[in-house]
Amino acid sequence: AQKITQTQPGMFVQEKEAVTLDCTYDTSDPSYGLFWYKQPSSGEMIFLIYQGSYDQQNATEGRYSLNFQKARKSANLVISASQLGDSAMYFCAMKTGRRALTFGSGTRLQVQP
Partner 1 sequence: SAVISQKPSRDICQRGTSLTIQCQVDSQVTMMFWYRQQPGQSLTLIATANQGSEATYESGFVIDKFPISRPNLTFSTLTVSNMSPEDSSIYLCSVEWGRNEQYFGPGTRLTVT
Binding residues for partner 1, rule: CB under 8 A, are 33, 35, 37, 42-45, 47, 50, 52, 91, 93, 95, 98-106
Half-sphere exposure of 110 (CA within 13 A, CB side): 5
At closest approach, how far in Å is the CB of 77 from partner 1? 16
Question: Given the complex with partner 1, which of 71 and 100 has the nearer CB atom?
Answer: 100
Q: Is 36 exposed, middle or buried (0-12, 13-18, 19+ CB in 10 A)?
A: buried
Q: CB–CB of 21/76 below 8 Å? A: yes
β pairing state of 74-79 and 19-21: antiparallel
Strand-pairing partners, residue 85, are none
Compute the least distance from the CB of residue 50 to partner 1, in Å.
4
- Shortest distance (Å) from residue 103 CB to partner 1: 5
Closer CB to partner 1, residue 88 or residue 101?
101
Q: Which is nearer to partner 1, 79 or 94 (CB)?
A: 94
Of 14 and 31, nearer to partner 1 (C-beta) is 31
Q: How far apart are CA 28 and CA 106, in angstroms?
A: 22
